[in-house]
Chains A and B, each alone.
Chain A
Amino acid sequence: MKSNLWNILKKELRELFRDKKSLAMMLIIPIFIPFLIIGMSALFESQSNMSIEEYNKIGFAYEMSDIEKNIAEEMHIEIINGPEDKIKQKFEENEINLYIVKNDNKYIINSNGSDTSVYSMELIEEYYNAYKQYLQNDYLQQNNINSDKILNIITIEKNIIEEDNFFANYIKNYAFLFIIMAITVSATYPATDTTAGERERGTLETLLTFPIKSKDIIVGKFLGVTVSSIITGIISLILAIISLIVTKDLFSIYEGINIMFSPISIVFSTIVIIAYSFFISGLCIAIASTSKTFKEAQSALTPLTFISFFPGMIAFMMGITTTPILSVIPFLNFTLIFTDITNGTINFINIFLMAISTIIYIIIVFTYIIKQYKSEKVLFAK
């Protein structure tokens, strides 16, 4: 008798495409990617192009000299003078961005750590540097010392060889990290439905009485979930590329960044999506198959969404790059290699190691699932 794998896969796909929740998970999650990219671009754009009028209202709770006022005016600082309690009140009512209190020669800057206060802080530090330089210069001149020799004992010149746009890279990396997360979310629902859900609905018993090998049932279910994940991944990739190309022309934060994707990058990105879909689908089925109920399976799978996201996020924060060892660490390898590819770097050794390690992980997961499906405790647990 021929294998029933195709019949099981056909059944799984039919259930998947007819179930509104599975379809929603598969198709709606990728739609968040354009919103994420456009939203983050707009946010960073507004922050990087903040007008000075939005953060230059500085309270000085002490009497300022004419020199101080001149320097402040030159730097477009709007001076708000007054006693400390009134200045503090204005700060609390958000009329000023920060305020300074003076104790002898010590200036205490009071801020609240908001986005605008970060800019105000930068401005006021620049102001005090200028004022300090004026005082140092004045002191040296009064003592007949060449201030130029002392104050400019060394000179610093900035030469930016290659422009690294922090904001654009941040958005790009997170957009592709979100694809990994979207694939994970897309795999969890069908994996839960096809294992714990099928058991809860009572159809698993029917399936087990058919002349089908356990291996065919498991592989059919696994492939069904993988197809769902791959569809989500491909749609997410297409939407991410289109969104980045569109936002590139809309926002100035992308200046100096190349966001054109070569066909080879798209091919390798698709390979990573397929490899990750196989990996996460197997893992989701393994976890869900140990759960007695649909609800229990969902609870067990929820942490997986975060686990898929965090290693990549931490890697970005710490500036970790792909190495052969990291290429075999699950979750982290997919994110790092994905980022490499989208940044134009294709390292065949790392991609090969990722593929081989994924196959090994899938074999381990499969062995576990087959064992689960032979366990009566799992099949008939109430």
Chain B
Amino acid sequence: MIRVQNITKTFIRNKNKKQKEEFYADYDITFEAREGEIIGILGPNGAGKTTLLRMIAGILEPTKGKITFDKMDYKNNEIEIKQKIAYLSGNTKLYDTLSTYELLKMCCDIYGLSEKESKKRIVEITNILKMEQFLYNKIANLSTGQTQKVNVARCLVHNPQYYILDEATTGLDIISSQVILNFIKEERKKGKTILYSTHYMEEAENICDRVIMINKGKVIKIGTPTEIKKDTKTTNLRDAFFEIIGGVSNEE
């Protein structure tokens, strides 16, 4: 179980040419993600979704609050937690000079898999994601969809318990997006915990068990898609989202 308790993150930004100011990227966020659950993180641009997921992935340190994975926290168990998580973002880039096989092998080595385990795991993942055709091609030469498949593959090598997916389908065509959505559903069936941030409301409505809506760094709604639609008296999550957020982007 992932437990996020009263997480706050502040950054310093330029107020004007001379002055700087502190601002809250995330403020007092609390929620839990249980085994076999997909939690959707929704919000407009600049709402604080990426910062929140980066803190959960251990890339950023919270200013206040605590994040635990089965009672382990980053302060005392950073390596153990990172052994159990996989982080995939729409911005995640791979090493262009490596081939798909070399990248997966590198990930296996980093996660401490033996030679035998590595070979077996790479064959398994290649079959699941249908990557045989470009397994030995350099990543620089792959299409966007193929690259995203490799990205998913590198998340799978160590069979993680927790997935942190930040706008993982952004910029992908419908077929490539479906690969990722199918993968998420499959992993849920195996009892994995998945945090999934997206701009696509239909996607969230289809696959998420619960949804957390964030705006200006604060949680403004938590619930199942059905509960949220009921509360907002709307028929779909898109309309519910506009009803709650008010239709104004934070970047405006």
Contacts and interface: CB of A to CB of B under 8 A. Distances in A.
Interface of A: 1-2, 4, 7, 10-11, 14-15, 18-19, 201-203, 205-206, 208-213, 376-377, 379-380
30 contacts: A1-B112, A7-B106, A7-B110, A10-B106, A11-B95, A14-B97, A18-B97, A201-B93, A202-B92, A203-B93, A203-B94, A205-B89, A205-B91, A205-B92, A206-B87, A206-B92, A206-B93, A208-B59, A209-B57, A209-B86, A209-B87, A210-B111, A211-B78, A211-B79, A211-B83, A211-B111, A212-B110, A213-B79, A377-B12, A379-B59
* Interface hub of B80, B85, B87 (most chain A Cβ within 10 A): B87
B79 A1 contact: yes
Interface in B74-120: 78-80, 82-83, 85-87, 89, 91-98, 102, 106-107, 109-112
Contact of A209 (B80, B85, B96, B109): B85
B110 A14 contact: no
Contacts of B89: 205
Nearest to B111: A211
Contacts of A201: 93, 96
4 smallest beta-carbon distances between A and B, as pairs: A202-B93, A211-B82, A209-B87, A18-B97
A211 B113 CA distance: 13
Contact of B97 (A1, A2, A15, A377): A15
Nearest to B93: A202
Nearest to B87: A209
Contacts of B85: 209
A209 B58 contact: yes
Contacts of A379: 59
A15 B59 contact: no
A212 B81 CA distance: 11
B172 interface: no
B59 A205 contact: yes
A226 to B, nearest CB: 20
A15 B95 contact: yes
Given A201-B93, A206-B93, A376-B11, 4 more contacts: A4-B110, A14-B102, A205-B89, A205-B91
Nearest to B106: A11
A212 B158 CA distance: 14
Contacts of A209: 57-59, 82, 85-87
Contacts of A211: 78-80, 82-83, 110-111
Contacts of B94: 203, 206
A15 B89 CA distance: 23
B123 interface: no
Contacts of A203: 93-95
Given A201-B93, A202-B91, A210 B110 contact: yes
A1 B96 CA distance: 28
Nearest to A19: B97
Contacts of B92: 202, 205-206
A209 B154 CA distance: 12
Contacts of A376: 11, 60-61
A212 B106 CA distance: 13
Contacts of B110: 4, 7, 210-212
A201 B97 CA distance: 12
A225 to B, nearest CB: 16
Contacts of B79: 1, 211-213
Interface in B136-172: 154
Contacts of A380: 60
A199 to B, nearest CB: 10
A380 B50 CA distance: 12
Contacts of A210: 82, 107, 110-111
A4 B83 CA distance: 13
Contacts of A377: 12
B197 to A, nearest CB: 15
Contacts of B107: 210
B59 A2 contact: no
Contacts of A206: 87, 92-94, 154
Nearest to A213: B79
